[in-house]
């Protein structure tokens, strides 16, 4: 029989997501956002193929050139092609953004789910810990941690990820608490499901939409936090450069050339804006009421 | 007396373990079960010291108004009452005292030996998982089956409950199903581990009447084939009459009458059972006739009347009813009983003049 082989008996979550991309692409605004974000990510990945310049080779004679066909974004104080610098900077900025988002989602979701499931003292301790972390401004906290542990790319990703985890934990906990009150969780308990199974099979798939939206917002905060840290010199260290570093260097040379600061700034702004737009679009696509009507 | 409601066709062989005699060791033995909740105003006890047994293959109806304690009884049987709720008494399932089981053992019993079907299948099914995923999961909790075997098993279960083209249906989500189909899926899931006892909590209340009869037919056929005992919780006497061997009428947290279904409808002993039967509306009656109602309100568990909890609404109440709570009086043999001070007079068919008139609160 035809249906037997391709029948999905998939792991938790696998069922909820495949339709999301399709539904997003069906909306024009969402499709545009996705394409632009896709281009941004692709350009970072394919940076060496997109430019003939090296991001680090110096050309002192070409300092502070304005945009031209040879250098679309102009050049910096050492004659490096700014477009190349921005493309390679994107690798670091987006890489740290993605890594810390994954860390934030994994740690935060586990944190929130355990609090929701165990309740009582465990819940109190875990959530007060989250509150305490959230009470300190992220940038300030990040500065302290970076100063203490050093500013390597890996450290940055871990620190930013962990700092975003408490917010994720809060959302994961409240979403999980809602699910745990539902009748299908009661039905699952009554059919003999264990706690782990209930979390993975009932709670996680149902909270995935909210978590997905939060992940997008987290990615935006992560990129912004990294840029801010790099701007104040505690992020990515030279000769590597992320968007934040470029912005800071451009800001210092504002009297020599205006382009240096504009391009990294615009790219950061566009990325954050696109991610926030994506979160918006995801939110409305994942809204179960709209989903029902678009399926019917 | 005419009882309106779905008639359930039953295969002839299902009366094997039927009422009133319970043959062999009971599947379920409930002794002195109470459910209470601590409130700021003191403890409230919505289920008060009830005891009953269910024999293998027997179908017991638990009938009563909203708030009489039917559903709490079911949750207590599954040990699903959580603090601040408190359960006392014993529940033996196949000879095992459920209170002695730890979490892991309890999980084995739930869904394995005793399964449950709920009133609203839409909210009891996970909205974001396919039907197939959910039923396969229910199977795999209790049977050590690989993905392929579990899937085949799921398909055959769905075919058993009357779903056409089960393999295709398994890829659908709950919201793509009709109410009746969802309830069939719930039944298939509940029966997936071949439980000895099925608790059906208002399984047809959310369905329209034609679907009700079909779903009940399916349920009836399945439990008959597998010899599953059933506790059917319902407020619909018609449903209970068609489906059950024995009926227990609950009022204010007590079982006030237990009787074979046929006898209860012919000759109820407890005045509350009688009043319930009288309030079934007669569809042939003139539309100008007022619908019969039981005067007064069911009591709140926090403010039970003294003596017999039904006495303020009872047509036959005596002084003793106001002061003393009636003990269960046997009605014939075979475990039928009624908790009424005037049981003997009622059985004897002595016409009892109402002590207070109808409509008096």
Q: What is the ipTM of this complex?
A: 0.72
Question: Do B127 and A190 make contact, defined as CB atoms within 8 angstroms?
Answer: no
Question: Do A191 and B111 make contact, defined as CB atoms within 8 angstroms?
Answer: yes
B339 has pLDDT over 60? yes
| Tens of pLDDT, residues A197-231 | 899 888 998 888 889 889 999 999 999 998 888 88
- The whole-number average pLDDT for the span A257-271 is 88
Q: For residue A239, is the peptide bond before it cis, meaning its omega torsion is within 30 degrees of 0? A: yes
Superfamily for domain range A36-295: MetI-like (1.10.3720.10)
Model pLDDT, residue A17: 58
Q: Which of A112-116, A255-259, B114-118, B224-228 has the lowest mean pLDDT?
A: A255-259
**Chain B residues whose beta carbon lies within 8 Å of the beta carbon of residue A194:** 104, 107
Interface probe for B, chosen from A18, A19, A184, A204 (most Cβ of B below 10 Å), is A184
Model pLDDT, residue A289: 55
The string of DSSP letters for B194-261 reads --SEEEEESTTTTS-HHHHHHHHHHHHHHHHHHT-EEEEEES-HHHHHHH-SEEEEEETTEEEEEEEH
**Chain A residues whose beta carbon lies within 8 Å of the beta carbon of residue B198:** none
Model pLDDT, residue B352: 63
- Helix, strand or coil, per DSSP, at residue B174: helix
Model pLDDT, residue A32: 92
Model pLDDT, residue A98: 94
Helix (H) or strand (E) holding B47: strand B42-54
Question: Do A197 and B126 make contact, defined as CB atoms within 8 angstroms?
Answer: no
Position B98 confidence tier, pLDDT thresholds 50, 70, 90: confident
Burial B244-263 (b: 16+ CB within 10 A, else e): bbbbbbbbbbbbbbbbbbeb
Helix (H) or strand (E) holding B30: strand B28-39
C-alpha B57: how far from its chain's center?
A: 15
Which of these, A78, A218, A96, lies nearest to A155 by C-alpha position?
A: A96
pTM of the model: 0.76
Model pLDDT, residue B323: 86
What ranges do the domains of chain A cover? 36-295
CB-CB: which of B108, B123, B125 is closest to A192? B108
B112 has pLDDT over 70? yes
Question: Do A15 and B147 make contact, defined as CB atoms within 8 angstroms?
Answer: no
CB A211 within 8 A of CB A197: no
Position B136 confidence tier, pLDDT thresholds 50, 70, 90: very high
**Chain B residues whose beta carbon lies within 8 Å of the beta carbon of residue A288:** 127
Paired with B28 in beta bridges are B54, B93
**Chain B residues whose beta carbon lies within 8 Å of the beta carbon of residue A8:** 130, 132-133, 171
B13 has pLDDT over 80? no
Nearest-CA distance A112 → chain B (Å): 21
Q: What integer best gives the mean pLDDT of chain B? A: 83
Model pLDDT, residue B1: 41
- Determine what percent of chain B is predicted with pLDDT higher than 70: 89
**Chain A residues whose beta carbon lies within 8 Å of the beta carbon of residue B119:** none
- The whole-number average pLDDT for the span A95-115 is 94
Model pLDDT, residue A35: 92
Model pLDDT, residue B299: 85
Number of Cβ pairs closer than 8 Å across A and B? 93
Q: Is some CB atom of chain A closer than 8 A to the CB atom of B78?
A: yes
Model pLDDT, residue A109: 95
Question: Do B171 and A8 make contact, defined as CB atoms within 8 angstroms?
Answer: yes
- The whole-number average pLDDT for the span B205-229 is 87
Model pLDDT, residue A39: 92
Model pLDDT, residue B21: 41
- The whole-number average pLDDT for the span B120-133 is 87
């Amino acid at each position: 029989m035809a249906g037997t082989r391709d029948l999905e008996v998939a792991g938790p979550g696998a069922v909820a997501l495949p339709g999301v991309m399709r539904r997003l692409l069906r909306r024009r605004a969402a499709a545009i956002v996705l394409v632009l974000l896709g281009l941004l990510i692709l350009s970072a990945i394919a940076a060496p193929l997109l430019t003939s310049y090296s991001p680090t080779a110096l050309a002192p004679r070409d300092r502070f050139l304005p945009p031209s066909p040879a250098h679309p974004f102009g050049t910096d104080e050492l004659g490096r092609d700014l477009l190349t610098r921005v493309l390679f900077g994107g690798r670091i900025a987006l890489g740290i953004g993605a890594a810390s988002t994954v860390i934030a989602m994994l740690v935060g979701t586990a944190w929130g789910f355990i609090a929701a499931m165990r309740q009582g003292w465990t819940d109190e301790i875990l959530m007060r810990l989250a509150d305490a972390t959230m009470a300190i401004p992220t940038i300030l906290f990040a500065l302290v941690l970076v100063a203490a542990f050093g500013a390597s790319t890996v450290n940055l990703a871990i620190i930013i990820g962990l700092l975003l985890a408490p917010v994720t934990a809060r959302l994961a906990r409240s979403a999980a608490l809602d699910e745990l009150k539902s009748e299908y969780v009661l039905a699952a308990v009554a059919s003999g499901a264990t706690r782990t199974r209930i979390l993975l099979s009932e709670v996680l798939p149902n909270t995935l939409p909210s978590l997905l939206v939060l992940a997008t917002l987290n990615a935006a905060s992560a990129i912004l936090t990294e840029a801010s840290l790099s701007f104040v010199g505690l992020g990515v260290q030279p000769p590597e450069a992320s968007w934040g570093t470029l912005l800071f260097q451009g800001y210092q040379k504002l009297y020599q050339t205006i382009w240096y600061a504009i391009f990294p700034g615009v790219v950061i702004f566009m990325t954050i804006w696109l991610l926030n737009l994506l979160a918006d679009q995801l939110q409305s696509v994942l809204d179960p009421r709209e989903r029902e009507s678009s399926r019917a | 007396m005419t009882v309106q409601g779905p008639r359930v066709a039953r295969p002839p062989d299902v009366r094997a373990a039927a009422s009133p005699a319970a043959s062999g060791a009971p599947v379920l033995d409930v002794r002195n079960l109470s459910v209470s909740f601590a409130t700021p105003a003191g403890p409230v006890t919505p289920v008060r010291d009830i005891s009953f047994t269910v024999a293998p293959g027997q179908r017991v109806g638990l009938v009563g108004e909203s708030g009489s304690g039917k559903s709490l009884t079911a949750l207590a049987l599954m040990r699903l009452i959580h603090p601040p709720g408190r359960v006392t008494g014993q529940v033996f399932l196949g000879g095992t005292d459920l209170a002695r089981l730890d979490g892991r053992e309890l999980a084995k019993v739930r869904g394995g030996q005793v399964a449950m079907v709920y009133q609203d299948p839409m909210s009891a099914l996970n909205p974001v998982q396919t039907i197939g995923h959910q039923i396969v999961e229910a199977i795999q909790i209790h049977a050590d089956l690989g993905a392929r075997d579990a899937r085949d098993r799921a398909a055959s279960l769905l075919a058993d409950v009357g779903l056409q083209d089960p393999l295709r249906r398994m890829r659908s989500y709950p919201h793509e199903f009709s109410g009746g189909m969802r309830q069939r899926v719930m039944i298939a899931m509940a029966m997936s581990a071949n439980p000895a006892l099925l608790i059906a909590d208002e399984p047809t209340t959310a369905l329209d009447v034609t679907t009700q009869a079909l779903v009940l037919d399916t349920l009836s056929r399945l439990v008959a084939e597998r010899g599953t005992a059933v506790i059917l919780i319902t407020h619909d006497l018609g449903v209970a009459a068609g489906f059950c061997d024995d009926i227990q009428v609950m009022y204010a947290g007590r079982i006030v009458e237990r009787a074979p279904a046929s006898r209860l409808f012919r000759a109820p002993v407890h005045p509350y059972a009688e009043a319930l039967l009288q309030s079934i509306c007669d569809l042939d009656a003139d539309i100008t006739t007022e619908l019969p109602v039981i005067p007064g309100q069911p009591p709140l568990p926090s403010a039970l009347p003294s003596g017999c909890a039904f006495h303020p609404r009872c047509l036959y109440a005596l002084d003793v009813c106001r002061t003393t709570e009636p003990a269960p009086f046997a009605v014939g043999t075979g475990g039928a009983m009624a908790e009424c001070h005037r049981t003997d007079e009622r059985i004897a068919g002595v016409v009892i003049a109402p002590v207070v008139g109808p409509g008096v609160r």
